[in-house]
Amino acid sequence: MTSIVLGQGRDGSDTCIDLPELLATRLLVQGNSGSGKSHLLRRLLEQTATLVQQVMIDPEGDFVTLADHYGHLVIDVEDQSEASLRAAGERVRAHRASVVLNLEQVEAEMQLRAAGAFLNGMFEAPRAHWYPVLVVVDEAQLFAPVAGGRYIR
């Protein structure tokens, strides 16, 4: 694999991230509204689309156009059961398919349940199918709302 150019620093030099290092760790992109989080994620996804399997958990439908451009499968969850989403997660692992899990058309609780079922399917896949995959959860705070240290329903 390779280093991914994400942009340029103030001095004009490339700002890079090492893809193998990224895949071996975790990355949180956090910032205020309008700070460029979505732009950074999109850049990262565009630069790695042909290099590694990608799974995007997309509560607002922002990455569907990216899927169209790179040939990723789009799974619209509104017509899917939790069992079918779990099975889809397993198949995504087995076939190394890049996907966008489009949660845009369902309510918040169903978004949480659908994403959980799909990711559980990925985790339950046989270890023989565990290849490197870049998992991006957009608007992650929607999936872990807390107040006072407790989950809010």
In this prediction, residue 153 carries a pLDDT of 53
In this prediction, residue 34 carries a pLDDT of 87
Low-confidence ranges of the chain (pLDDT < 50): none
In this prediction, residue 31 carries a pLDDT of 85
Dump pLDDT digits (tens) for 100-111: 999 999 999 999
In this prediction, residue 14 carries a pLDDT of 93
DSSP class of 63: T
In this prediction, residue 133 carries a pLDDT of 95
Q: Identify the burial level of 67 via C-beta atoms within 10 angstroms of its C-beta, where 0-12 means exposed, 13-18 middle and 19 or more buried.
A: buried
Please give the Cα distance from 149 to 131 (Å, whole number): 34
Residues shown for the chain: 153
In this prediction, residue 39 carries a pLDDT of 86
pTM: 0.87
In this prediction, residue 49 carries a pLDDT of 95
- Name every residue whose Cβ is closer than 8 Å to that of residue 134 and which is 6 or more positions away in sequence: 22, 23, 44, 45, 48, 52, 53, 54, 55
Q: In what helix (H) or strand (E) does residue 76 lie, and over which residues does it extend?
A: strand 73-76
Q: Identify the burial level of 68 via C-beta atoms within 10 angstroms of its C-beta, where 0-12 means exposed, 13-18 middle and 19 or more buried.
A: exposed
